[in-house]
Amino acid sequence: MLLNRSERSFPRVIIIGGGFGGVEVARSLKEKEVEVLLIDRNNFHTFQPLMYQVATGTLAADAISFPIRKMFKSQQNFRFRMADVTEIDHVQKIVKTSVGDYDYDYLVIATGATSNFFGNNQVEKYALPMKSIHEALNIRSYVLQNLEEAVLRKNYHDRERFLNFVVVGGGPTGVELSGAIAEIQLHMLKKDYPELSKNEMKVYLVEGTGKILAALSEKSSQDAERYLRDLGVNVLLNAQVTGYDGNTITFSNGESIPTKTVIWGAGVMGQFPTGIRPEIIQRGNRIQTDGQCRVSGMENVYAIGDVAAMITEDTPRGLPGVAPAAQQQGAYVAKHILKQMDNQQTADFKYFDKGSMATIGRNKAVVDMGRFHMKGFLAWLTWMFVHLVSIFGFRNKLVTFVNWTIKFFTKNSGIRLIINKYKRPEVEKETEVEHHS
Ligand SMILES: Cc1cc2nc3c(=O)[nH]c(=O)nc-3n(C[C@H](O)[C@H](O)[C@H](O)COP(=O)(O)OP(=O)(O)OC[C@H]3O[C@@H](n4cnc5c(N)ncnc54)[C@H](O)[C@@H]3O)c2cc1C
C-alpha cells in the first residue's frame, strides 16, 4: 500500500507516462530520498522508433516492448500503477486515475503524443494510425488481410484497391514504413501469393510539402527519396489529403487512389489528462513550460517530452518530438526536483542534438550528425548500432539482432501472422465484387 502525504518520510514524485521521458526521470531518482510512483495505462515501455518493423512483420511486439516493473526491479524507491490518469488537481496536488486518486509532492507529465488528423473526421475513421504497439499490430494484420482479400478477386480492377498501400506523411515514420512495405512487395509477394503479380501491388508515400524528411539535411532528403524510388515506392510530393472514404483517397490536386489501406503518419499532437489551464496549451496541443520544464501556474508540476512545448527565446517552436529530447529532459527534471528539495537554483535546460537518421528498406539509411552526412550501407550499419544500443533489455537486443541478421540474408519478414483480425469501421458504399475460389 502507498502511504498518504502525512505518513510518508520522503516526498513523492508522480510520473505520468512510462515512455522515454518518464522512464528517464524514474531511473535518475534511483537511491535518492524520494518515493517514485510511475503511472502508465500499459504495463510496458514501447520503443517507438522500431514500431514500423512490428507493423511489417520483421519484429514481434515483445522485441520492442519492455515490462516497466521488470525495468525497475532493483530500484527500492520505485512503485508502479497500471492506470489511466484522467485528471490533475494541482490545487489539492492529486492525480485522479482509473484505479483511484494519488497525492503528489512533485508531478511530471510525460504522456507523449497521439496522432493528429487535423480535424478530418473521415480520414480519422478509416485511416490506420501508428502511435502504439496495438496500432502497429493492426497494420500488420490489415496489410496481410488485404493481400488475402486480393487473391479472392478475379480481375485486376477488383483487386486494385486491396493492393494499393498508401502511407501519408514524409517524416521518418512514413519513409521507414513505406520502404518496409515495398520490401514485402519485392521479396515476399510472389513467394507467398503466387496468384498475384508483383507489379500489381503498389506502395505510395504521400507528402504535403515539396520534400520528404524535411527535418533532415537537403542531401539526406534527396538520398532517401532516391532510395525509396529505387525500391519502387511512388513518392507523391505536394499532395495534400482532402478525404478518404475507406475505398478512395483524394488529394487537393484532384487526383485520387483507390485503396483499402491508408496509414497515417502525417502529424502528432500532445495528449494529457484534464486539469491543464487552456491558456497554456500551445500549437500541437502541447503544454507550455519555461526553460526549466516547469508548467506555469502549477506548483511543482513539470512537463517533458512530446507533450511539452518549451517555448523560450532559444527555442521559439519548442523542442523536436524525438526520444533524446524526452530523455534529456527526464534526467534534467530529476536533478531539478532534487535541487528544489535542497532549495538550490538550477540553470535552464539545454538540448543536445545528437543528430537524426532514417532507414530505407533492408540495408540503406541516411544519417545527419551536425554537418556530417552519411548514406547507404554504412549509414544503415550506424542506424542499426544506435538502435540496438538503445533498446531496453538484453533479450530484446539479442532477438532484434538475430531477426535483422536473418532478414538481411533471407530478405524475408518472418512474422506474417494475422492473430487478431483488424476490423475496420464499415465503409458506407461498398461495391460488391465477384469472388472466385
Ligand atoms: C512510429 C514512430 C517512430 C519514431 N521514430 C523515432 C526515431 O527514429 N527517433 C526518435 O528519436 N524518435 C522517434 N519517434 C518519436 C519518439 O518515440 C518520441 O519523441 C518519444 O517517444 C517521446 O517520449 P515521451 O516520453 O514524451 O512519450 P512516449 O514515449 O510516447 O510515452 C508516453 C507514455 O505515456 C503513457 N500515457 C499517455 N497518456 C496517459 C494517461 N492519461 N494515463 C496513463 N498513461 C498515459 C503512454 O502509455 C506512454 O507509455 C518516433 C515515434 C513514433 C510514433
pLDDT digits over 34-84, tens only?
A: 999 999 999 999 999 999 999 999 999 999 999 999 999 999 999 999 999
> Whose CA is closest to atom 26 on ligand 1?
305
Q: What does the chain come to in residues?
A: 437
pLDDT band at 435 (very low <50, low <70, confident <90, very high): very low
What is the rounded average pLDDT of the residues 270-298?
Answer: 96
Average pLDDT over residues 284-290: 97
- Res. 278 pLDDT band, cuts 50 70 90: very high
At 393-433, the pLDDT tens digits run 899 999 999 999 988 888 776 788 999 999 999 887 665 44
pLDDT, average across residues 187-208: 94
* Whether the CB of 19 sits within 6 Å of ligand 1: yes
pLDDT at 428: 75
Q: Whose CA is nearest to atom 12 of ligand 1?
A: 322
The residue nearest atom 41 of ligand 1, judged by CA position, is: 85
Quote the crossing angle between the two packed helices 20-28 and 323-341, to the nearest 10°.
Answer: 30
To test the ligand 1 pocket, which listed residue (48, 286, 310) has its Cβ within 8 A of the most ligand atoms? Answer: 48
Run of H or E including 264 = strand 261-264
Using the predicted structure, report yes or no on whether residue 436 has a pLDDT greater than 60: no
C-beta 170 within 6 A of ligand 1: no
Q: Is pLDDT at 112 greater than 90 in this prediction? A: yes
Same CATH fold assignment for domains 5-41+83-115+268-341 and 121-266: yes
Catalytic residue among 24, 135, 176, 183: 176
Name the helix (H) or strand (E) containing 411: none
Label residues 198-229 b or e (16+ Cβ within 10 Å = b).
eebbbbbbbbbeebbbeebbeebbebbbebbe
% of residues, the chain, pLDDT over 90: 86
Residue keyed to cell 532528403:
221
Atom of ligand 1 nearest to the CA of 305: 26
Rounded mean pLDDT of 143-156?
95
**Interval 114-130 mean pLDDT:** 96
pLDDT of 429: 66
Residue 246 CB-density burial (10 A; 0-12 exposed, 13-18 middle, 19+ buried)? buried
Q: Is the pLDDT of residue 339 over 80?
A: yes
Ligand 1 test: best mutation among 50, 54, 111, 173, most atoms within 8 Å of CB?
111
Position 413 scores a pLDDT of 67
Mean pLDDT lowest among 6-10, 198-202, 413-417: 413-417
- What is the residue-averaged pLDDT of the chain? 94
**β-pairing, 164-168 with 202-206?**
parallel
Which CATH code fits 5-41+83-115+268-341?
3.50.50.60
306 lines ligand 1 (CB under 6 A): yes
* Cα–Cα distance, 295 to 284 (Å, whole number): 16
Q: What's the half-sphere exposure (Cβ side, CA atoms, 13 Å) at 434?
A: 5
CA dihedral 13, 15, 19, 21 (to 10 degrees): -60
pLDDT in tens, 294-317: 998 999 999 999 999 999 998 998
The reply to whether ligand 1 has any atom less than 6 angstroms from the CB of 276 is: no
Please tell me the distance between residue 230's alpha carbon and the centre of ligand 1 in angstroms: 31
- Say yes or no: CB of residue 173 within 6 Å of ligand 1: yes
- Supply the pLDDT for residue 414: 75
User: Separation of 345 CA from ligand 1 center, angstroms?
Assistant: 30
Is residue 323 within 8 A of residue 332, CB to CB? The reply is: no
Query: Quick check: is 195 catalytic?
Result: no
Q: Residue 341: which residues within 8 A CB-CB, separation 6 or more?
A: 11, 33, 34
Q: What residues does 95 pair with on adjacent strands?
A: 88, 102
Does 437 have pLDDT greater than 60?
Answer: no
Residue with the smallest CA separation from ligand 1 atom 53 is 131
Atom of ligand 1 nearest to the CA of 177: 1
**pLDDT confidence of residue 426:** 86
Would you state the pLDDT for residue 1?
A: 75
pLDDT tens digits, 218-242: 999 999 999 999 999 999 999 999 9
Rounded Cα distance between 55 and 179, Å, is 12
Matching CATH number, 121-266, of 3.30.70.260, 3.40.50.300, 3.40.50.2000, 3.50.50.100: 3.50.50.100
Q: How confident is the model over 273-289, as a mean pLDDT?
A: 96
**Which atom belonging to ligand 1 lies closest to the Cα atom of 85?**
42
Domain-wise residue ranges, the chain: 5-41+83-115+268-341, 121-266
Summarised one tens digit per residue, pLDDT across range 372-391 is 999 999 999 999 999 999 99
Number of other residues whose CB lies within 10 A of the CB of residue 231: 20
The reported pLDDT for the residue numbered 431 is: 55
What value does the mean pLDDT take over residues 135-141?
A: 97
Q: What is the pLDDT of residue 430?
A: 61
Pick from 204, 220, 172: which is nearest to 373 by CA? 220
If you average pLDDT over residues 277-299, what whole number do you get? 96
Q: Which three cell numbers stand for residue 74?
A: 532493483
For residue 110, pLDDT over 50 is answered with yes
